[in-house]
Amino acid sequence: MLETGKWGEQQAADFLTDKGYTILTRNYRHQKAEIDLIAQSGNWIIAVEVKTRTGKQMEDPFRAITKTKQRLLIKAINEYVRSWPSPVEVRMDAVSIVHHQNEVFIQHIEDAFPAF
């Protein structure tokens, strides 16, 4: 499953880069939280939670982002931007990667849950 997760994160990073985002950090850790990707778009710093599913695991990947997980991610991104040299806007996005029968489906939800 670890390889699937890393593959999904790379797919998400490529997808976001193609949309004009800059990937700043991968797998940022703060206390019990890990943010899969931290990206920048203009004056926005974006924490991106990536959920990857393969094969018959076709349930909605976004359902795996629990309220507890959201709280941990919010604490982590707030810590990350604390040392940012200038004021920025913060947003929490989610990207779903589903690989099924040689097809890859990507869904990106901007501002998936409040950052503060």
Q: Is residue 62 part of a domain?
A: yes
Which range marks the domain in which residue 83 is found? Answer: 2-109
Q: Is residue 114 part of a domain?
A: no
Closest CA to 73 of 98, 50, 96: 50
| 12-63 per-position pLDDT tens digit | 999 999 999 999 999 999 999 999 999 999 999 999 999 888 876 555 666 7
Contact present, 13 and 108 (Cβ < 8 Å): no
Number of domain units in the chain: 1
Q: Are strands 89-100 and 44-54 parallel, antiparallel or unpaired?
A: parallel
Write the CATH number for 26: 3.40.1350.10
Measure the CA angle with vertex 42, ends 83 and 66; round to 5°. Answer: 70
Q: Is residue 116 part of a domain?
A: no
Q: Is the pTM of this model over 0.75?
A: yes
Q: Is residue 115 part of a domain?
A: no
Q: Is pLDDT larger for residue 31 or for residue 99?
A: 31
Q: What pLDDT does 116 receive?
A: 58
Q: What pLDDT does 86 receive?
A: 85
Q: Of 14-18, 53-57, 65-69, 104-108, which range is least confident?
A: 53-57
- 54 bridge partner residues: 99
